[in-house]
Amino acid sequence: MIRIEAGAWAVMLEHAYSAYPRECCGILLGAENPGGERVVSAAFPCRNAYEGDQSDRFQIDPRDQVRANLKCRAEDIDIIGFFHSHPDCDAYFSATDLKNSWPWYSNIVLSIRQGAFAGAGSFRANDDQSQSETEELTYPSALPAPAADVAETAPGVESPS
């Protein structure tokens, strides 16, 4: 099973909202504890580098992968998976997703409908990427508002005290 901490969850949703109606993509950082539970403590938003229609495709910018690796090394955490969004589509693992995935890693898919969060799923591919399994996923129930609403009510930059 995999659990997403609040800070990481906020980053994932914010990234998905701002990319809509295109797909967003990013990297999940954290650790797998000895019991096999995965905890996502940070999410690393990446640029979608897919050259074409990004409404149903993504490709993580390799430069962002390098940056995520550096962050892991600095903070002694690991890359445990990847995330991307499905604009106006369900949170399922598509044939393309399976083909482009790596075994072991968790792949979280966020469904974004009409610009708002509409569900999430986590999937793991088997060793030859012929099949995927749904993984039990827990995420915070309190959802940050879509980016547009946040901008309206943002109190501005806080000065350090």
Q: Which residues bind Zn ion (CB under 5 A)?
A: 94, 97
Q: How far is the CB of 76 from Zn ion (least distance, A)?
A: 30
Token code pair at residue 2? 């995999």
14 membership: H or E segment, kind and range: helix 6-19
- Largest pairwise CA distance in the chain: 55
Tell which residue, 101, 40, 99, has the closest CA to residue 72: 40
Amino acid at 42: A
Q: How far is the CB of 160 from Zn ion (least distance, A)?
A: 41
Q: Give φ, ψ of 29 to 5 degrees.
A: -115, 145
CA 31 to the chain's CA centroid: 15
Q: How far is the CB of 84 from Zn ion (least distance, A)?
A: 5
Taking the C-alpha atoms of residue 109 and residue 111, their distance in angstroms, rounded to an integer, is 7
Q: Which is nearer to Zn ion, 72 or 132 (CB)?
A: 132
Q: Which is nearer to Zn ion, 96 or 114 (CB)?
A: 96
Q: How far is the CB of 45 from Zn ion (least distance, A)?
A: 16
Q: How far is the CB of 77 from Zn ion (least distance, A)?
A: 25
Taking the C-alpha atoms of residue 39 and residue 28, their distance in angstroms, rounded to an integer, is 9
Q: Which is nearer to Zn ion, 44 or 72 (CB)?
A: 44
Residue whose beta carbon is closest to Zn ion: 97
Q: Which is nearer to Zn ion, 39 or 106 (CB)?
A: 106
Q: What distances in angstroms separate CA 70 from CA 12, 29, 115, one per listed residue?
A: 19, 11, 32
Q: Which is nearer to Zn ion, 14 or 97 (CB)?
A: 97
